[in-house]
Amino acid sequence: MISSSARPRRLRNLKWARDMFRETRVTADSFVYPLFVVPGKKYKKEISSMPGCFHLSVDEAALEAEKCRALGINAIILFGLPSKKDPLGKEAYNPKGPVPEAVRAIKRAVPELAVITDVCLCEYTSHGHCGVVTKNACGHMVDNDQTLKLLVKEALVHAGAGADFVAPSDMMDNRVGAIREALDAAGFQQTGLLSYAAKYSSAFYGPFREAAQSAPQFGDRKTYQMDPANFLEALREVELDVMQGADIVMVKPALAYLDVLRAIKDKFQFPTAAYNVSGEYSMVKAAAKQGLINEKAMVLEILTSIKRAGADMIITYHAKDAAKWLKEI
């Protein structure tokens, strides 16, 4: 009898053949490592909700960037915590804020490392929402178009400091087009745009909100972030961002949305990123601490699954550890 097999046993049984015919390869050059930059000097403090991640002053962020580069990581993404917050998030577009200062310091220290900046207001507003809050008949809401103006200002400040890419994560309508137009008009045609195109309103952001001190003080983000139940809407979001000039589109979170990621890759065949978010990271860390799992094996499996589902770029807090482990293999 002829036996059939999806992968012939003669290949499965040989290590060289398993290696040769593996379909997905995870490499450090697809990782982006997030850094949380705070005001001050020589400051480095672990974030309690995200063990292994730190609040860093600008000088410490530059040192961390050098370490990433040495591990073969080619890009970082910066989040900023301002010295003060107000309803309009003014520190978000202060050219002397922690993010623009960190961009300059990192570009000076490691020019070949790509620097991406998160463009959003939630870390900078006193109410913790991603935009300008107004009132409507149902209570508070975020004013989409007022917010766009501030996001554009923030993106221009980051580009002016030398960011290679800006990454709007607010989920306001038309922000990609507005930012692209403003960047071009200001002479930043070379600055790229990574759009958080399909960003879901997710419980997996919990640990990040402590890290960025950005938990909304009232209400939630459901009026601007996507409903986890919606799939077709993600395709429409991506289509609009591609039309408006995004260079890379992102799905966020990653693990509970791998179906969305695969569909977007197949449909648009466009540079695609996935954000392996804080909740996904901290769950692994907590389980590892309790001795419930093999952290290294689990992280590499998770990153492989995100890549297999279609991500070219993976933003992940595991980046440094994974880069080290991949060197050992």
Note the residues at the interface with ligand PBG (CB under 6 A). Answer: 118, 120, 122, 130, 169-170, 205, 208-209, 277-278
Annotate 225-284 with DSSP letters as a single string.
SBPTT-SHHHHHHHHHHHHTT-SEEEEESSGGGHHHHHHHHHHH---EEEEE-HHHHHHH
Smallest gap from Cβ 227 to ligand PBG, in A, equals 14
Residue 91: strand pairing partners: none
Alpha carbons 315 and 32: distance in angstroms, whole number = 4
- Cα–Cα distance for residue pair 207/222, rounded to 1 Å: 18
- Residue from 107, 252, 265, 285 carrying the catalytic annotation: 252
CB closer to ligand PBG out of 2 and 229:
229
- Minimal distance, residue 241 CB to ligand PBG, in Å: 16
Q: Which pair of structure tokens corresponds to residue 51? A: 């063990």
Cβ nearer to ligand PBG, comparing 60 with 170:
170
Judge whether 44 counts as a catalytic residue.
Answer: no
Of 120, 124, 46, 116, the residue nearest 82 (C-alpha) = 124
Closest separation in Å from C-beta 118 to ligand PBG:
5
CA–CA gap between residue 109 and residue 59 (Å, rounded):
10
Q: With respect to ligand PBG, which residue has the nearer C-beta, 23 or 77? A: 77
Q: How far apart are CA 198 and CA 241, in angstroms?
A: 10
Minimum CB separation from ligand PBG for residue 283, in Å? 12
Selecting among 85, 107, 199, 320, the annotated active-site residue is 199
For ligand PBG, give the closer residue by CB, 154 or 170. Answer: 170
Residue reference for tokens 């036996």:
3
Task: Count other C-beta atoms under 10 Å from residue 139's C-beta.
Answer: 9
| Cβ nearer to ligand PBG, comparing 120 with 157 | 120
- Taking the complex as a whole, how short is the minimal distance between the CB of residue 86 and ligand PBG, in angstroms? 17
Rounded to whole angstroms, the Cα distance separating 195 from 175 reads 9
User: Is the N-terminal amide bond of 51 cis, ω within 30° of 0?
Assistant: no
> b/e map of 212-235 (b: 16 or more CB within 10 Å)?
bebebeebebebbbbeeeeeeebb
Give whichever of 17 and 213 is closer to ligand PBG, judged by the CB atom: 213
Catalytic, 42? Answer no
Nearest-angstrom CA–CA distance, 323 and 73? 7
Q: How far is the CB of 110 from ligand PBG (least distance, A)?
A: 23
The residues annotated with a catalytic role in the active site are 199, 252
